[in-house]
Structure 1
């Protein structure tokens, strides 16, 4: 970002972050803690969904941990030091990790619904754990390498001093969000289409299928609303710097800070994904007796029958 925005803009950003970070942190910590306890201590059976959800909880928890520091850095214009670099590494590792795990969940759901027979070969908890492990290692290496290449000795933490466009930022947004966005959108649309076709052939299951469609739609909307503004702002900054329109940069910086704050809301909203994942686990479902969904009784062949447990996650 740059030296310091004017006092009014800076004060407005601080107030906005306080209004957002405090409730997100206050709600996010207990929600993620309870979810982690339930998944790791109460649910004995490991499935693909459980593997992805545990990794999502870990990524969200690390992001929540950075919020007080980010607020402090903004309020006091904290200089670049060891603490700043550590928080940056955590933030820029776990935000894309959260995006990628949500993408994996969408792909996993799509495979389970569209190709139930092939899913037996393509899906397994061990494969899911291996994919997540590779992603963690890759993102940690990439984040540390990126911070090393662009390390600065002066200025404020989480603020870019140079007006030179960074192609690494362009790569980060395209590969770290816009490609996953296309995948999540495609998988979600295909699952919704499959469920609508199922509604036409099974009217007695309409209510259940409508709930499943609603869950998939809400998950997609949360993903788009939380992450799109931030990555659009990153692309906008790159375009402004590449065009040499330096007079527009202060406004773009404000947009980046506000949209980055909005992205943090996903740490809380993911808790709804944890709840919907409960449909796959009887132990978890029993903890919410008022919200147990009916389970369909299907007699169709497996190839034409989508797994409702996979839809609900």
Structure 2
């Protein structure tokens, strides 16, 4: 006998209360406005003001583009909360793919930036021989291919499903959900945490060794911590929600429980989308601060190595 969960409709799972709609409007409208303004401004700075192509600017441009594409889906999310979805299944699938591809593209790029920063701060003399613009470009291409492939597989799962509302998955457990959580969040989180910890330790040591650079180093440490905290706050809750929903759908739990889980995911989506605004602000200042420190460190290390008999 088919379970109640397998017959849950999309409308059953979409939060429909007036309070939630008001909360969504209050959240998504400023997120869309500030997300567009901050990311376009940051992209303009990295493209027009900093015209040279470096590994750092390449990753920054890639991150800003991914965040802008995520922000462009926000008006359609607002439409879903205000109207019944009548724009077609294909458009819905395209928008959901655009959202998920670029959300995970943003996560992977943030991870790459953290790893690049780790190599630059911990191994400044070997950095230029290890990392190149070509390698960074190939890395970004691989990230795009992985994200797009996973989303194609996701759409194939629901190829015969008719969407009565958008930005809501089917009630059948998606077999790649654990991959999204492990590869798309846990591994990046571990990488960012490791790299951030090592960078902070290194910068703290340099602060004790050179009090003249103490102010700039302290700013850099705070930015590293801000990056890590922002990543955890924005992406941890939503992936907890994905995990709980996958387990609930696999166990064929009732529609009422799935509805509560889905309401939690909708709220956490709002928090995850806040990352699109925070990225442009935090990473703009981080890029300037770390480029300054890296330049000083590289110059100092080169000088010391040349002075060693």
> Structure 1 length as normaliser, TM-score?
0.85
| Residues paired across the two proteins, number | 293
Query: Unpaired runs of 5+ in structure 1?
Result: 283-292, 306-313
User: Cα distance, 1:9 vs. partner?
Assistant: 5.0
| Residue 38 of structure 2: aligned partner | 31
Judged with a 3 Å threshold, the aligned counterparts in structure 2 of structure 1 residues 6 and 100 are, in CA distance, closer, same or farther, namely closer
Alignment-derived partner of residue 157 in structure 2: 149
User: Which of the residues 117, 122, 136 maps onto 1:114?
Assistant: 122
Aligned with 2:145 (options 91, 113, 137)? 137
Residue pair 1:2, 1:159 contacting (<8 A) in 2 also: no
Determine the structure 1 residue equivalent to 2:71. 64
Task: Report Cα offsets for 1:280-304 as digits up to 9, x if no partner.
Answer: 679xxxxxxxxxx9x8588743499
Q: Is the 8 A contact 1:103 1:183 kept in 2?
A: yes
Other-structure match for 1:43: 50
1:176 paired residue number: 184
Whether the 8 Å contact between 2:92 and 2:163 is mirrored in structure 1 is no
Q: Are the counterparts in 2 of residues 13 and 254 from structure 1 also a CA contact under 8 Å?
A: no
C-alpha distance in structure 2 between counterparts of 1:57 and 1:161, whole Å: 30
SS in 2 for 1:186: helix
5+ residue gaps, structure 2, are 1-7
Distance (whole Å) between structure 1 residues aligned to residue 94 and residue 14 of structure 2: 27
Change (3 A) 1:2 1:122: farther
Residue 4 in 1 paired to residue 14 in 2?
A: no
- 1:159 deviates by 2.2
C-alpha separation between the residues in 2 aligned to 1:161 and 1:144? 15
Q: Which residue number in structure 2 is paired with residue 231 of structure 1? A: 239
SS of 1:236's partner is helix
Higher mean Cα deviation, 80-89 or 171-180? 80-89
When structure 1 is superposed on structure 2, of 144-153 and 208-217 the one drifting more is 144-153
Q: For residues 167 and 255 of structure 1, what CA distance do their matches in structure 2 show?
A: 21
2:249 corresponds to 1:260 = no
Distance 1:212 1:86, change over 3 A: same
By how many angstroms is 1:18 displaced? Answer: 1.1
CA offset digits 1:94-113 (Å, max 9, x no partner): 00000000000000001111
Q: 2:85 maps to which residue?
A: 78
Within 5 Å, give how 1:179-194 maps onto structure 2: 179-194=187-202
Deviation at 1:77, TM superposition (A): 3.6
* TM-score normalised by the chain length of structure 2: 0.86
Change (3 A) 1:8 1:169: closer
Is 1:18 aligned with 2:28?
Answer: no
The Cα shift of 1:125 comes to 1.6
What CA deviation, in whole Å up to 9, does each residue of 1:58-112 have, x standing for no partner?
0000001000101212332415522211101101110000000000000000111
What SS is found at the alignment partner of 2:176?
helix
1:248 and 2:257 are equivalent in the alignment: yes
Aligned twin of 1:278? 288
